[in-house]
């Protein structure tokens, strides 16, 4: 399934893509099909993920019945069109998972990125944290803080955890994956390097990567069964139509099972948690091309889609 979270008429809903530019509101469709109030998990995608197979089975049932009625142009189908089908232009996209417990990100996890940064890859997966407050949805604004310098982009394949686990063996790690989405790890390079006094403390992860709107996420989550091999996907990033990053997930240094195993070493992964798997070459830190006021960023991953955001400098 291709699931998303959106807001329409002031109400947050869970949707599924049913065609080019069309969203089926699962809660609205449920109410029309069954003439009964939809369960709460159809209003919140994180709740749906937490419900495990029950939530997916229900969402698939509503999708299947709705598409049948829509194709038949039945009276019920007409009611669905009027009350539960929306175009992209009429909704506000939310981050697919609002308020995840954890957002864990990989540093230097593509060979091409390691080469462009002249950085020796770590011996094992190196993870840092982005806060839930950094998330912004598709078409949302990326607000660069006052005085910040060298804002940069990083297109990344993000894993959405579906099954709770701790000390997860890499051989069973993929059983814990709900699906995949796109994360753009916006980074303030001017605030990332160590301070002259206290250089031994290392990279400054908080000011560089955890300002408001520094983690565009979405627009959809594609369930794991529709992706197949997540290490066989093209990914790109364009700024104002100019190709800046052009990579392939086969270039990952550490694959997803290894990353999940490392992330869960003493830390319980929970449904809705996000693990972002690193970025390929082409970042501004290597090319000297940083984000400017008014730039439109398009992060694209094969079989998932495009995540678009506009850059604004805070005044």
pLDDT in 10s for each residue of the chain, 315 residues:
999 999 998 999 999 999 888 999 999 999 999 999 999 999 999 999 999 889 999 999 999 999 999 999 999 999 999 999 999 999 999 999 989 999 999 999 999 999 999 999 999 999 999 999 999 999 999 999 999 999 999 999 999 999 999 999 999 999 999 999 999 999 999 988 888 887 788 888 888 999 999 999 999 999 999 999 999 999 999 999 999 999 999 999 999 999 999 999 999 999 999 999 999 999 999 999 999 999 999 999 999 999 999 999 998
CA 248 to chain centre: 17
Are residues 212 and 134 in contact, defined by beta-carbon separation less than 8 angstroms?
Answer: yes
2-93: CATH topology is: SH3 type barrels. (2.30.30)
- Write down the pTM of the prediction: 0.96
pLDDT value, residue 225:
95
The domain limits of the chain are 2-93, 103-313
103-313: CATH topology is: Fumarylacetoacetate hydrolase; domain 2 (3.90.850)
pLDDT value, residue 40:
92
- Residues 85-143 pLDDT 10s: 999 999 999 999 989 999 999 999 999 999 999 999 999 999 999 999 999 999 999 99
């Amino acid at each position: 399934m291709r699931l998303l979270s959106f807001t329409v008429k002031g109400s947050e809903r869970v949707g599924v893509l049913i065609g080019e530019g069309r969203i089926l509101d699962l809660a609205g469709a449920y109410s029309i099909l069954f003439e009964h109030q939809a369960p709460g998990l159809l209003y919140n995608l994180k709740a749906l993920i937490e419900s495990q197979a029950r939530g997916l089975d229900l969402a698939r049932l509503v999708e299947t019945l709705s598409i049948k009625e829509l194709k038949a142009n039945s009276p019920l189908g007409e009611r669905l069109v009027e009350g539960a089908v929306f175009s992209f232009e009429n909704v506000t996209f939310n981050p697919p998972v609002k308020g995840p417990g954890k957002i864990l990100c990989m540093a230097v996890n593509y060979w091409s990125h390691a080469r462009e940064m002249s950085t020796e890859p770590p011996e094992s997966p190196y993870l840092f944290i982005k806060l839930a407050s950094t998330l912004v949805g598709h078409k949302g604004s990326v607000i660069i803080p006052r005085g910040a310098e060298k804002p940069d982009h990083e297109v990344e394949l993000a894993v959405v955890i579906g099954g709770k686990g701790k000390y997860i063996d890499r051989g069973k790690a993929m059983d814990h994956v709900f699906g995949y989405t796109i994360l753009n790890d916006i980074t303030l390079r001017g605030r990332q390097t160590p301070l002259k006094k206290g250089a031994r403390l290392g990279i400054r992860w908080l000011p560089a990567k955890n300002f408001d709107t520094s983690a565009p996420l979405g627009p959809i989550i594609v369930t794991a069964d529709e992706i197949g091999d997540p290490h066989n996907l093209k990914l790109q990033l364009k700024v104002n139509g100019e190709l800046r990053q052009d990579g392939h997930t086969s270039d990952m240094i550490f694959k997803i099972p290894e990353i999940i195993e490392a992330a869960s070493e003493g830390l319980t992964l929970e449904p809705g948690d996000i693990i972002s798997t690193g970025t390929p070459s082409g970042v501004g830190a290597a090319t000297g091309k940083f984000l400017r006021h008014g730039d439109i960023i398009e992060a694209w991953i094969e079989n998932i889609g495009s995540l678009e955001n506009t850059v604004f400098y805070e005044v």
